[in-house]
Structure 1
């Protein structure tokens, strides 16, 4: 497809963008990044962090049923800067974070790397206490956006130690993916504040061949420019609904059931997963259904479920069969094709923000700025 800007048209794979709108076409499932986030990182620095100016030069640089009033919805100022933290697994490649800083600068984001972002303790980016301290430094520094370097595992260990009110009151825009789902959902459950799920520093800005669209979608969401995200959907159930957008990684969401960090949101639930056989995905969806979560939603929007292997004895049991089972099981519209998951092209989505979702003629439209209408 093509990108239109200032009257000129240039080719852009799998997407067409117009003013305030982005349309992402559904192609073959891309291969997922390894585990829940790539292993990459950055050298540690003294002080709270290390600034990265242009091109890597160092310098200064729910709806009514959820129980919250959502007064923490973020205004959208100028782009500002990004503070990088590592609240989950240890990063591995300092050069990848350096490259991510350069590419973020090219997109208009000055970056600062937290001094603990490259710490290593077992598989984690430092001890639990050190990773909590990194988040605490993040809300005291000047940059308005706080981005995770990667996912992996580790946030669920530190949820009870995080001052959620302080996180929400800071006004920072927290962004991460995969394991960061635990942070997104806990912040929503504890405070009603909006955070973001999608881009991470290394997976989306530090790779050898970064995706063309993911950084653009991230930038538009951070600047408040993206009004509608449109994408191709196959056999979608008819839907025209509005509600609080919430969700993320399926396994992480299931791990929060029964805890004070799982939102009781009746809204629009979006999900993705990587490296899980379809029967495991179905089992987790069954858990959500039997826990009463799914039938309370106004719509279920599925992203990519990628990087799994089928066995001969599956005998035709695959992800499309899981989707058919889900539609038979719940009384909620199910929409597929969301450009979100462990794949190169992913949207950055506002967790906890009121949105709209509608389908028509093979397309789905996620209205990001629904709260302003």
Structure 2
């Protein structure tokens, strides 16, 4: 049975019931679930003080379960980046631990791959957000669940999605996959925790950020030379922000257009990832290959992230059309 440990490295959990529900559902999926001793700790808005959360990450790294899954994001990992023992985390990944999460986990994931070429973590669901949701609130998304279980078993080697248009038909790119939450990623720029990746495939998402703020951060990355140095950029979901009366029709599409007008790097939209119910799993730090045919895009990789730099063509198992959806 695959061991899975639930831990809370950033924001505190509001309800213990969501954690219990997530643990039960993950157990039914075949995981041997354990909950870290401090998963429900609380200090101000954080899941325990910095020392508590730091100790939890190191404790899990030393135990090296098959899966280390964050219960939620929020904010808090930025506080820990300068104190983390990255070598202990690397040993767990080399042992086979798949660290999973998104949102604030972007800080941990990119800080890790900035130091360890050839190793990867996983951008994917959070326990309470995705597996702890009550049935009244929609329950578990089947595509998210299926992609997660395949990724954690090592069977997942590709995800597909449908872009809004066929403007990038015929595009092929290969590079190291990195990125995650746009705001968290931008906060790492200029720090030792920034992955200096050229020729990579950068994926981005965000929540509750007005389109002009999204544009400002995208242009920050472009003006810093980051976007222009990539083989491709994949944009996920950017929703949740209230429109302003001053917008006069301005929205995310305009923010994307502003970025595209300033770079030659292909910028694709429609990646099913972000603060949405349906999300795929992506190996952050792994080498991937991107293929676009018409509106259909496939991102494929070596199934074992520890072999991130091995040559690979994505013709193995994947989530196919079930892992993607239309973004009009």
Q: CA deviation at 1:335?
A: 1.0
The structure carrying a bigger helix percent of its residues is 2
The secondary structure found in structure 2 opposite 1:138 is helix
Counterpart CA distance in 1 for 2:227 and 2:25 is: 39
Give the match's secondary structure for 1:160. Answer: coil
Separation (CA, whole Å) in 2 of partners of 1:154 and 1:352: 22
| 1:228 alignment counterpart | 158
Q: Residue 133 of structure 2 contacts residue 140 of structure 2 at CA under 8 Å; is this kept in 1?
A: yes
For residues 191 and 180 of structure 1, the distance between their equivalents in structure 2, rounded to whole angstroms, comes to 17
- Classify 1:351/1:89 alpha carbon distance in 2 versus 1 (closer, same or farther; 3 Å): same
Separation (CA, whole Å) in 2 of partners of 1:110 and 1:136: 20
Which residue does the alignment assign to 1:35?
Answer: none
1-side partners of 2:10 and 2:46: how far apart? 6
What residue is the counterpart of 2:10 in the other structure? 88
Rg larger for: 1
* 8 Å CA contact retained: 2:62, 2:88: no
Equivalence for 1:204: 130
Aligned to 1:281: 214
Per-residue CA deviation, residues 5-51 of structure 1 (Å, 9 max, x unaligned), is xxxxxxxxxxxxxxxxxxxxxxxxxxxxxxxxxxxxxxxxxxxxxxx
- TM-score normalised to the size of structure 2? 0.87
Question: In the alignment, is the contact (CA less than 8 A) between 2:61 and 2:91 conserved in 1?
Answer: no
Task: Name the counterpart of 1:32.
Answer: none
Q: CA RMSD in A?
A: 1.3
Distance 1:310 1:330 in 2: 27
Q: CA–CA distance in 1 between the matches of 2:257 and 2:42?
A: 43
Query: Is 1:368 equivalent to 2:301 in the alignment?
Result: yes
Contact 2:13–2:47 under 8 Å retained in 1: yes
The offset of 1:372, in angstroms, is 4.8
CA-CA distance at 1:99 after TM superposition:
0.7
Q: Does 1:247 align with 2:157?
A: no
1-structure distance, mates of 2:64, 2:233: 36
Which of 219, 237, 244 lines up with 2:168 in the alignment? 237
Aligned match of 1:97 in 10, 16, 19?
19
Whether 1:261 and 2:193 are equivalent positions in the alignment is yes
SS of alignment partner, residue 151 of structure 2: helix
Note if contact 2:168-2:294 (Cα within 8 Å) is conserved in structure 1.
no
Q: Give the corresponding residue for 1:24.
A: none
Paired residues for 1:169-188 under 5 Å: 169-171=91-93, 172-188=97-113
**CA shift at 1:141, angstroms?**
2.1
Which residue, out of 144, 156, 160, partners 2:78?
156
Determine whether 1:307 maps to 2:240.
yes
Deviations 1:44-69 (A, max 9, x none): xxxxxxxxxxxxxxxxxxxxxxxxxx
TM-score w.r.t. length of structure 1: 0.77
> Retained in 2: the 8 A contact 1:165–1:191?
no
Give the gaps of 5 or more residues in structure 1. Answer: 1-78
Once the two structures are overlaid, the 10-residue window that deviates more, 128-137 or 185-194, is 185-194
The counterpart of 1:291, out of the listed 212, 224, 227, is: 224
Residue number in structure 2 paired with 1:195: 121
1:115 shift after superposition: 0.5
Match of 1:328 among 228, 245, 261: 261
Check whether the contact 2:289–2:301 (CA below 8 A) recurs between aligned residues.
yes
Secondary structure, aligned partner of 1:313 = coil
